[in-house]
Chain A
Amino acid sequence: MSLDKFFNPQSIAIIGATENELNITSAIFNNLFEMGYKGTIVPVNPHYEKVFGLKCCPSILDYEDNIDLSIITISSEHIPEILSQHIERKINNVVIISGGFAETGKRGIVLEAEIKKICRENNIRIIGPNCLGVLNNYSNFSTFFLPWSKIKRPSRGHLSILSQSGSYAASMLDMLYLEGIGVSKFVSYGNRVDVGESELIEYLTGDDSTRVIGIYMESVDDGRRFIRASRLCSCYKHIVVLKVGRQESGINAARSHTGAIAGRYEIYKAAFRKSGVLEVYNLEEFLDACKVLLMQKPARGNKILVITNGGGFGVAVSDMCSDTGLNLAQTPPGIREYLSEHFPEFFIFNNPIDLTGSAGDKDFGIALKTAFVDNDFYDAAIIIPLMPPPAMTEGVVDVISERAKESGKPVVVCTIKSVYTKKTKEKFESKNIPVFMSPERAVKAMNVLVERGKMDGC
């Protein structure tokens, strides 16, 4: 059964509707209004006649038309009863925002098992409980209860995020907004009684607006299904995963070495490898990996060209490259001769090519054309155009991005975080050339492209 109604509902019920500003439910309404959600909204609450000017039903049993999706925020002990009303009304898709389930202890575990049973036996699909639920930027729909006044919502784009943690998903939104990265869909699925990442990956495989999927994972829902779903999906899209809880101890009572060493994490790593999933290790890498995969294609090999106008940055990038296993191969003789004919002799023609502080926009163009466009020796390039030298202007953005496009090979830009650079960064990124604000981040991002390139095609 498709999950489409979770992302594109024509009609929704909000159980526990209220205008009370301190209640999370009012924020769900306000967020939907602010986004301009076009579907029918049916508030449900026996205590009110109207909520935000919409006719409020005492219970969903009192509403006769079709409801595609219901959003439940009421306290957990009432939810089984509410779900039985859903069975009666044939409402098959539910997002349960409320906490108070397995995360709270014994009673919650029993309650969670109960709703799981109801959902299995009656073919009701559930996202949650204990979650933020869904955001679809393309249908202006969300179940998020964190007000858009406090969390910035990125523009429409091609990144979708799946997260067990709600706070992580919300923070990602803010950071993506600041990075100027557009998103398609977000799902925070919390305790995951039903819909989990494997099925969501299957859904997103067929979602045209999703090109990269980022997953924040504490545990996997169904290991073999995850591998199958990801393997297929990664033929068409990129999947990045941040697995947390890596220190989890090994399988209990294992008596062979294999069992003792095979902590869960080792198996997760093996599973990611089998799935064509790229693993990253922290929040910053997660964001950078998603960004670089959105903007550039994977590298066909690991011979990296570095062009800079700042020697120190060239060295820093070189060190990082060799630590990471990227190959900073020396410039072949042909390239070197050509460059030495066209550039002053104090420029350095080895890799990194150092154009020094006297270089201007044009020099970056010449170096790129010679060593990267006209010559196919290198697989990818890291360009470090530091902006302060007098001959450097914003025109360098066009020069570099045009050459990058001509080459047909991946290029990332490394620069430093500064007031002036902010503008050039935006310009670069509007042309899909990703900019990273430190040598470390630029090299890691390049490594993502190289690693992705190494994975077998389908």
Chain B
Amino acid sequence: MVVETSKNREVEKIVDKIVASGRIAALPDESLAMVELYGIDVPDYALVKTVEDAVAVSKEIGFPLVLKIASQDAQHKSDVGGVFIDLKNVEEVEMNYYKAIDNLKKNVPDAEVEGVFLQKQIPEATQLIVGGICDEQFGPAVMFGLGGVFVELYKDVSFRIAPVTEAEALEMINGIKAYPVLSGYRGARKIDIGQVAKTIISISELVTNCSIIKEVELNPLFAYEKSVKAVDARVILK
């Protein structure tokens, strides 16, 4: 069931482009564009293919910046030396533009470079993960958890079958063991639970409406006291 709305049509356009280029994984800018269409707030970003564009775009986005290699052959960008943070001026952008490409070539010689991804660096926050999958048996489902090492090490996450209601989304948030940390336990930074719930619902809608998506993930989702922002998104098609 695909609901015909303008945002779905826009998402379909991006999907068509990915399929046309023979990929199943969306590039960072494509993934972010898709989740943005579903109302998820993301820091300014751009994918560039030349160093001149990198310089021009970085001036437009403003500093500090994060620079990442964009290649479907490098799913874990930091493992291949493809992530640079805290870039403060155009010189640093220029230098690291080449460095990112060199590192990728060194680590994955046959890798195809799609370009370089630039994104506004935003202040530190509580890192969360919100994901969606299309399960073979049960269809669309969503996941919520603490991001970073917590998701890998402790798997402190909760799942629900999509589509989820607001009540279910809130249950998912307070269903993880680390919930007290999110709600200000002993002076921990409180986060905007309402916005997190909204984000879960958006991802739930995206996987429900767009049946070609196999997996979608916001990791990390930065959660502040009064807002949330998806720093990285990843969409994988079936």
Contacts and interface: CB of A to CB of B under 8 A. Distances in A.
Contacts of A224: 138-139
Interface string A224-251: 1001000000000000000000000001
Given A261-B157, A262-B143, A270-B160, A254 B138 contact: no
A78 interface: no
A103 B64 CA distance: 60
A408 B237 CA distance: 54
B135 A223 contact: yes
Interface residues of B, number: 27
Interface string B83-125: 0000000000000000000000000000000000000000000
B215 A220 contact: no
Given A220-B137, A224-B139, A256 B159 contact: no
A395 interface: no
Contacts of B75: 255
> For B75, B138, B141, B215, which residue has the most chain A Cβ atoms within 10 angstroms?
B138
Contacts of B33: none
> For A224, A254, A267, A271, which residue has the most chain B Cβ atoms within 10 angstroms?
A267
Interface in B115-154: 129, 131-133, 135-139, 141, 143, 151-152
A223 B139 contact: yes
Nearest to A456: B167
Contacts of A262: 131, 133, 135, 141, 143, 159
Interface string A255-288: 1111101101011111101100000000000000
A261 B156 CA distance: 10
Interface string B51-78: 0000000000000000000000001000
Contacts of B217: 256-258
A259 B138 contact: no
Given A256-B236, A261-B157, A223 B138 contact: yes
B192 to A, nearest CB: 22
Contacts, number: 84
Given A261-B151, A270-B138, A255 B159 contact: no
A256 B137 contact: no
Contact of A258 (B25, B132, B137, B138): B132
Contact of B161 (A222, A256, A259, A274): A274
B161 A254 contact: no
Nearest to B143: A258
Contacts of A264: 135, 137
A256 B139 contact: no
B219 interface: yes
Contacts of B157: 261, 266
Interface string B193-222: 000000000000000000000111101000
A390 to B, nearest CB: 49
B229 interface: no
Interface of A is mostly: helix
Contact of A257 (B25, B135, B151, B160): B151
A219 interface: yes
A223 B236 CA distance: 22
Contacts of A270: 138, 141, 159-161
A312 to B, nearest CB: 32
A261 B215 contact: no
B189 interface: no
A191 to B, nearest CB: 17
B236 A255 contact: yes
A220 B161 CA distance: 15
Contacts of A251: 133, 135-136
A274 B139 CA distance: 13
Contacts of A268: 138
B17 interface: no
B132 A274 contact: no
Given A220-B138, A223-B138, A262-B141, A257 B131 contact: yes
> For A254, A258, A267, which residue has the most chain B Cβ atoms within 10 angstroms?
A258
B177 interface: no
Given A223-B135, A267-B159, A270-B141, A256 B151 contact: no
B141 A267 contact: yes
Interface string A198-225: 0000000000000000000001101110
> For A222, A227, A270, A274, which residue has the most chain B Cβ atoms within 10 angstroms?
A270
Contacts of A223: 135, 137-139
A260 to B, nearest CB: 9
Contacts of A227: 138, 161
A351 B163 CA distance: 42
B9 interface: no
Given A257-B151, A266-B159, A274-B160, 19 more contacts: A219-B137, A222-B137, A223-B137, A223-B139, A251-B133, A255-B215, A257-B129, A257-B219, A258-B131, A258-B132, A258-B217, A259-B215, A259-B236, A261-B151, A261-B157, A267-B161, A270-B160, A273-B160, A274-B161
List 4 A-B pairs, minimum CB-CB distance, nearest first: A258-B131, A223-B138, A223-B137, A270-B159
6 contacts: A219-B137, A220-B137, A220-B138, A255-B236, A262-B135, A273-B161
